[in-house]
Amino acid sequence: MIETMARLRGRLRIAILIVATADLAALDLPALITHLDVYLVAWPVVAGYLTLIGLLAVEGVLIVRGRSWGRWRWPALGLTLAVSVLVNALIPVIEVPGYANWPIDGVGWVAVVLLFDQHLGVLLGVLAAHFATNFVHLALGGELAPLVLINVGTDIVTIGAFQVTAGASTWMVRYAARTAARAAAAEAEVRATEAIATRVHEDRQRRTQELEAEVRPLLTGLADGSYDPADDQTRRDCAIAAARMRRLFAEGDDVDDRLLHEVKACVDIAERRGVLVDLATQGSWPGLPREVRRGLTEAPVRVLSTARNWARVTVLGTDSGVSVSVVADGGAAGTFPLADGAVTITTVEDEDRLWVKATWQS
Amino acid sequence: MAELITAVIVDDHPAIAAGVRAWCAAALPPVELIDAEGRIARAWTEPGASAQVVIFDLQLNGPPAFRELERLVDAGRQVIVYSGRSDRDTVLTCLDLGVFTYLTKAEGPDHLIPAIRAAAADLPYTSPSLGGVMSTDRRPSRPQLSEREMETLVAWFESDSKRLVAGKLGVSIKTVETYIDRVRIKYANTGRPARTKAALVERAIQDGLIAMEDLTG
């Protein structure tokens, strides 16, 4: 759709250039040549004509190169209006309604070319200014007889109608192209959302299947008595499976909490190793920068990774800051950085347990 | 306490009731548990009516049953809310209504059994999850806690071990318990008055856990 609109715009631009060139070459050039003796001074009129031809030539080059006038549009437009004023001034007032006044249509076409793609209002303003020069000329020369005004007015209405229509068409194509682009963008967004939803769904389904593969033998084993509910290992397996199921069910909540998300990811890894993890959160915290999140999770996660059987992980948000804490069994080794930027680490050891807490002060 | 404690559990999940029954039976001394099979009415009729402690699942096939909870509390029942929910507003609402304590279902027999015993004796019991809620309470009506009390609550929530809290703060386990209990009493002294709250405060003052001026100040 967008490509179609772009192609249409390009062709319309060429069409308008052809119309403008034909007008200047087939209508205005003969008028100019046959009235060279009429103008007060001839050579500036010829120069004005050549200027307009030159502008059309530049447009031709720009079309070939696939470029637009950009900010040069406005000086070029100024030049065009200057030609309008200059040539008008060099036409004797009695010739204003006549054939010698070739710029009355020629200038307008050049303006249509220059204002391609611009708001229609700009073109209307420029054309009005251009046509006004004729009336000003007539007024200054005292030639405001009704017949003269009707002649000039008729010229202006017929010429202007074509030019405004041409300008309007470029503007409408641009409008249609924008609408099409917006529609295409909306469609792409819908498609992307659908794709993401599908992937999330697939991922969830996959994990549900994995979980089922894990839960089913457990349940079967419990039912047929091959697993003993009193056995510690069985209990641990059940607890871990239950924790995973809970997390899977909770994933419908669309929470935008990266800190918790990262903590949960680490808990998940520990659970895969067979560690029973008790995760509790309380309070609230703002969105934290990545370095802070890293500082908050690193040391606790290291403790979590050494846990043998169980761990308690908490995330607590208070008025003064956020803390991530892990208590775990197992002889966790290694030293922890005492402070990493704004994050402070505290460690407590107690026989078989190690408790590491990272706190970020807001 | 040689006397056998009786409790009634109102929970619509049979597995929970069965699990709690097993914990109660394994406790020393055991706790006698009556299963209300998810029906609140059974906590009001015998034998449930004379149970000393009510273990109450806040959500029985629907929204939190605050009304029913309030009625039980108003009748002077010692209610332990045992719920899957851990959000602050729900927990604080229950506390305001005058429940004895609040435990999340992630908290097992290590907390439920001592909580039942404490409820039967009018002694405070604060689980780590409840400690976490109290430490993040932002309401203007919240009781004034000292810095030490706050640190203790936070550490209790994080570690779930009074010994670790004691080690961290460099105090005795007894002191840790005192701090946690004092906070609970301060909470009992705020919000809507309830007979159960008054009993908790009265017992705490008798035991010298907290002084009158701590509560009024």
Q: Which two tokens stand for residue B164?
A: 């670790």
Of residues B141 and A61, the one with the higher pLDDT is: A61
Evaluate if residue B28 carries a pLDDT over 90: no
**Spatial CA neighbour of B82 closest among B52, B46, B109, B45:** B109
CA angle in degrees (0–180, nearest 5) for A275-A240-A215: 140
pLDDT score recorded for residue A243: 61
A352 pLDDT tier (thresholds 50, 70, 90): confident
In angstroms, the Cα distances linking B122 to B50, B114, B117 are 16, 12, 9
Q: How far apart are CA A281 and CA B58, in angstroms?
A: 20
**What would the DSSP string read from start to end of A7-76?**
HHHHHHHHHHHHHHHHIIIIIIHHHHHHTTTTSSSHHHHHHHHHHHHHHHHHHHHHHHHT---GGGHHHH
Q: Is B183 helix (H, G, I), strand (E, B) or coil?
A: helix
Residue of B nearest to A316 (CA): B132
Q: Is A5 helix (H, G, I), strand (E, B) or coil?
A: helix
- Asked if A323 is an interface residue toward chain B (Cβ–Cβ < 8 A), one would say yes
pLDDT score recorded for residue B174: 92
Q: How far apart are CA B32 and CA B7, in angstroms?
A: 6
- Which chain B residues are Cβ-neighbours of A314 within 8 angstroms? 132, 157-158
> What is the average per-residue pLDDT within A140-146?
80
pLDDT score recorded for residue B216: 67
pLDDT score recorded for residue B81: 93
The pLDDT tens digits of the residues spanning B50-74 come to 889 999 998 877 788 888 899 999 9
Q: What is the sign of the dihedral through the CA atoms of B169, B175, B178 and B182? A: negative
pLDDT score recorded for residue A240: 67
- Asked if A278 is an interface residue toward chain B (Cβ–Cβ < 8 A), one would say yes
> What is the average per-residue pLDDT within B1-21?
84
- Residues 6+ away with beta carbon under 8 Å from B66: B58, B93, B94, B97
Evaluate if residue A54 carries a pLDDT over 90: yes
Q: Cα-flanking dihedrals φ and ψ of residue A342, to 5°?
A: -85, 0
Residue positions counted in chain B = 217
Of residues A339 and A329, the one with the higher pLDDT is: A329
- Residues 6+ away with beta carbon under 8 Å from B173: B162, B163, B166
- Which chain B residues are Cβ-neighbours of A284 within 8 angstroms? 136
The answer to whether ipTM exceeds 0.95 is no
- Which chain B residues are Cβ-neighbours of A282 within 8 angstroms? 86, 88, 129, 132-133, 135-136, 157
Q: How far apart are CA A261 and CA A241, in angstroms?
A: 19
Q: Which of residues 48-107 of B touch A (CB under 8 A)?
A: 86, 88, 104, 106
pLDDT score recorded for residue A288: 81
In this complex, which of B129, B138, B167 lies closest to A280 when CB atoms are compared? B129
pLDDT score recorded for residue A252: 47
In this complex, which of B129, B135, B164 lies closest to A355 when CB atoms are compared? B164
Is there a contact between B164 and A325 if contact means CB atoms under 8 Å apart? no
The pLDDT tens digits of the residues spanning A161-179 come to 888 888 888 888 878 878 8
Q: Is A284 helix (H, G, I), strand (E, B) or coil?
A: coil
A76 pLDDT tier (thresholds 50, 70, 90): very high
B7 pLDDT tier (thresholds 50, 70, 90): very high
- Which chain A residues are Cβ-neighbours of B135 within 8 angstroms? 282-283, 316, 318
The pLDDT tens digits of the residues spanning A257-302 come to 778 888 887 888 788 778 888 888 888 888 887 778 878 887 777 7
| Pairing relationship of beta strands A339-340 and A343-350 according to DSSP bridges | antiparallel
B205 pLDDT tier (thresholds 50, 70, 90): confident
Evaluate if residue A182 carries a pLDDT over 80: yes
In this complex, which of B106, B154, B167 lies closest to A316 when CB atoms are compared? B154
Cis peptide before B47 (omega within 30 of 0): yes
B34 has which bridge partners? B8
Q: What is the sign of the dihedral through the CA atoms of B182, B187, B190 and B196? A: negative
The pLDDT tens digits of the residues spanning A196-251 come to 888 888 877 887 787 788 788 888 888 898 888 888 788 777 766 766 666 566 55
Q: How far apart are CA A313 and CA A324, in angstroms?
A: 7
Q: Which of residues 103-122 of B touch A (CB under 8 A)?
A: 104, 106
The pLDDT tens digits of the residues spanning B92-143 come to 999 888 899 999 988 888 999 999 999 988 888 999 999 999 999 888 888 8
Q: How far apart are CA B136 and CA B133, in angstroms?
A: 5
Q: How far apart are CA B199 and CA A62, in angstroms?
A: 91
Is there a contact between A325 and B158 if contact means CB atoms under 8 Å apart? yes
pLDDT score recorded for residue A337: 57
Q: How far apart are CA B148 and CA B193, in angstroms?
A: 27
Is there a contact between B135 and A317 if contact means CB atoms under 8 Å apart? no
In this complex, which of A282, A323, A353 lies closest to B133 when CB atoms are compared? A282
Q: How far apart are CA B121 and CA B114, in angstroms?
A: 11
User: Range with the lowest mean pLDDT among A89-93, A268-272, A279-283, A335-339?
Assistant: A335-339
